[in-house]
Structure 1
Amino acid sequence: MKINMLVLPQIENALGVKLYLQQKNYLLSDGKLFWWERGSGKTLAYCIRLALSEGEPLDMRYPERFSDLDYSHYSRDYFRRMFMEVWSKLNDHGFRVREIRQ
């Protein structure tokens, strides 16, 4: 799904959050993550983009294969929980989310 300015408020509503400007800019662009500060909302923005992306089903047994960082302990725990929460909320609000395998 191509994310645009009209979809951003719907995403915020589905997730119950107000996105930061840098998160919105990232979601509206086709670029890579460009900020790395801890607590900046980078992982949330990445999870939104990934959940709304197209492609092969994501195998949740191996989240390190598609997480935004290259740390297996991070991928297996924190990233998987955050991604599944984002994915579930978007799915519950009628967004077409990427298929997953568990």
Structure 2
Amino acid sequence: MTENPSLAGKPTVVVTSRGGSYKEGTPQHGDDHVQGYLQQALGVGLGLDVTFIVPELTMAPIMPAMAELVPLFETSRNESLAAADFHARQLATQLVA
């Protein structure tokens, strides 16, 4: 845990994106080492309350070989936008309270 208790429990949102996907059932499942590292460093190391927003398959709309994945990209994008909106509103509420 952190030696700086002022960070403990502070909400932190990490927004990133992926051209492909690491979700279960995909060929790259289990290959995402960055999110685990960031969770360890920010969540465990600094004690932050970490949330990840990760739209996936962002290359699908521009790569013909990924054309069949466009609906999954759109779902991921919409879910990510909704999550970003939710967390932004939550933070804004905390800042004005």
Structures share fold, TM-score greater than 0.5: no
TM-score by length of 2: 0.34
